Structure 1
Amino acid sequence: MSRVDLKVVLLGSEYVGKTSILERFVYDRFRGNIPYQNTIGAAFAAKEADSNGKKFMMGIWDTAGSERYEAMSRIYYRGAKAAIVCYDVTDRPSWDRAKFWITELRRYEEECKIYLVGTKLDLLLDDSKQRAVDLDLVTRYSDGIQAQFIETSSKTGENVVELFQTIADDYMRNPENVRQVEETVMLNARDKRGSCCLLSS
C-alpha cells in the first residue's frame, strides 16, 4: 500500500512511554534496558491493520512530550483520525498533562477520536500503592468526554495490540472510511496491473 489510510497520533508528556507503545505494536519489542532518549519533533511508523475483513494502512505519529515541542506537536496531530493520549499510572503530573492535550484536541481537531491510555501498568503488579491516579476518576473523565479508556503495559504487551485493534475497528465502523479503503485497494490493484503491463511490453 502506497498511502496511509488512518492517521493516528500519540500525545502525552515525556517519559510516559509513547515510543514504547509504538515499538511494542509495530515491532513487538520492548527496549527497557536502553537509556531513555527524548523524541525530537516526532517519529513515524506504519503498520497494516485488518478490520471487518479489510486491510488498510495505519500511520502512527509519535510526538515529542517535552513542552518546548508543544507547538510542533500540533502539526502532527492535524488531520488525525485517532489520538492516543497517554499518562503514566504512577505519575500524577502526567495525568494533568494528558488532560491538557485532550483540551487541545477538542479545540483544534474536533473530529479526532480520543483514546485515553494509562501506561506502565506492570509497575502496579508488585505494588498497587504506586497508582497515582484513581481509576474511578479516569473512568468518569473518559466517559464525560466520550473517549475510550484502557490501561496498557508495553513491557508485558498487555492491551497494546487490543488498543490498536479497537482503533482500527472504530475507524471501519464509519461507512465513508470503508469506501475510502476500498477505493485505495482498487487503485493499488490497478497500479500493479499497469506496472506488470509496462514490464512485459
Structure 2
Amino acid sequence: MQLKKDWDVQAKVACKDRAARHQPWDRQKMSKVVVVGDLNVGKTCLINRFCKNVFERDYKATIGVDFEIERFEISGIPFSLQIWDTAGQEKFKCIASAYYRGAHVIITVFDMADIKSLDHTRQWLQEAMRENEPDTCLIFLVGTKNDLLPPEERERTEKDAIRLATEMHAEFWAVSAKTGENVQGFFFRVAALSFEKCILKDMETGIPASIGRGDGIMSDYAKLDEATSQDTKKGCC
C-alpha cells in the first residue's frame, strides 16, 4: 500500500496489540468515503478503476447515489472503505446531500481539462461539510483526466490545484482513470490515513469506530512498520 512513513507511535502499538489478541470487533472497522464534484468530472470512472480495475468510455451519469466497498487488511486488522459515489447533477443534490452525513473522508473531484470544475470544488466541500462536524473529516482534492493535458498545461493546473488544496486543508492528487495513473496509490493513501484515524479515535473514546460490517475478504495488505514497494491486490468488491 501507499503508506505514510510517520505513523503515530500509539497507533502502531495499538494495532500490534489488537492483532495479537484478535479482537472480534475489529472486523467491523470501516470508514465512510464520500466522493463529490461536478457532473462528468470522472467520479464514477475513478471509483471503478480502483474497485473493478475497469475504464468505461461510454459515460453514464450517476443517478442519486451509489457505493462500493473495498476491503483491506492493515497490520493484521480487517478494514474497509465504504465509497459513496454521488451525482453531480443539480436535480440530485438534495438526494445526495443526505448521504454526506457521517463521512470520515471527503474527496472533492475536478476535471483537470475543465478549470471551472476546479473552482466549483469549494462549494462541493462546503455542502459536504454542512452535514458533518468541523475537523472530523479527512479532505482530498483530486484532479482527474490528467492524461488529456500537455505537460505545460498540466503543470499550471496542478499549481492552481495545490493552492486551492492548501486553502481547503486538503491533500491534492492528480490521477487518470483511463491509464490508471496514481489511482491505486491514491486510494491506498486514503485507506492508510483513515485507518490510522480510526485507531486513534478508538483509543480516545474506547469505542470502536465503525459504520457497518466488514467481513474479512483477503484483498490488500499493508504493514505499519514499513512501506512495501510492490502493491498486491488479490480481489476487490
Q: Please, what TM-score do these two structures have when normalized by structure 2?
A: 0.69
Tell me by how many angstroms 1:129 deviates: 5.9
Contact 2:27 2:79 (8 Å CA) reproduced: no
Q: 1:117 matched to which residue of 2? A: 142
Q: 1:105 matched to which residue of 2? A: 128
Aligned length: 183
- Tell whether 2:36 aligns with 1:23: no
* Letter of the structure 1 residue corresponding to residue 141 of structure 2: L
For residues 181 and 117 of structure 1, the distance between their equivalents in structure 2, rounded to whole angstroms, comes to 26
The alpha-carbon distance between structure 1 residues 3 and 19, as it changes in their structure 2 partners (threshold 3 A), is farther
For residues 170 and 141 of structure 2, the distance between their equivalents in structure 1, rounded to whole angstroms, comes to 7
- Tell whether 2:114 aligns with 1:77: no
Q: 1:194 matched to which residue of 2? A: none
Match of 1:144 among 145, 157, 167: 167
Contact 1:120 1:154 (8 Å CA) reproduced: yes
Stretch of structure 1 that moved more, 83-92 or 127-136: 127-136
Contact 2:106 2:138 (8 Å CA) reproduced: yes
* Greater RCO, 1 or 2 (C-alpha within 8 Å, sep 6+): 2
RMSD, aligned CA: 2.8
For residues 15 and 132 of structure 1, the distance between their equivalents in structure 2, rounded to whole angstroms, comes to 22
Q: 1:180 matched to which residue of 2? A: 208
Contact 1:116 1:148 (8 Å CA) reproduced: yes
- For residues 113-148 of structure 1, the C-alpha deviation after alignment (integer angstroms, 9 at most, x for no partner) is 111000001112xx3466597322211221222111
For residues 6 and 99 of structure 1, the distance between their equivalents in structure 2, rounded to whole angstroms, comes to 23
Matched-pair identity in %: 33
Please, which runs of 5 or more residues in structure 2 have no aligned partner? 1-25, 217-237
Tell me by how many angstroms 1:188 deviates: 6.8
Stretch of structure 1 that moved more, 69-78 or 14-23: 69-78
Local SS of the residue matching 1:101: helix
Tell me by how many angstroms 1:78 deviates: 0.9
- Tell whether 2:115 aligns with 1:87: no
Local SS of the residue matching 2:98: helix
The alpha-carbon distance between structure 1 residues 140 and 70, as it changes in their structure 2 partners (threshold 3 A), is same
Structure holding more helix per residue = 1
For residues 143 and 50 of structure 1, the distance between their equivalents in structure 2, rounded to whole angstroms, comes to 31
- Rg comparison, structure with higher value: 1
The alpha-carbon distance between structure 1 residues 152 and 188, as it changes in their structure 2 partners (threshold 3 A), is closer
The alpha-carbon distance between structure 1 residues 133 and 39, as it changes in their structure 2 partners (threshold 3 A), is farther
Tell me by how many angstroms 1:55 deviates: 2.2
Please, which runs of 5 or more residues in structure 1 have no aligned partner? 190-201
* Letter of the structure 2 residue corresponding to residue 118 of structure 1: G
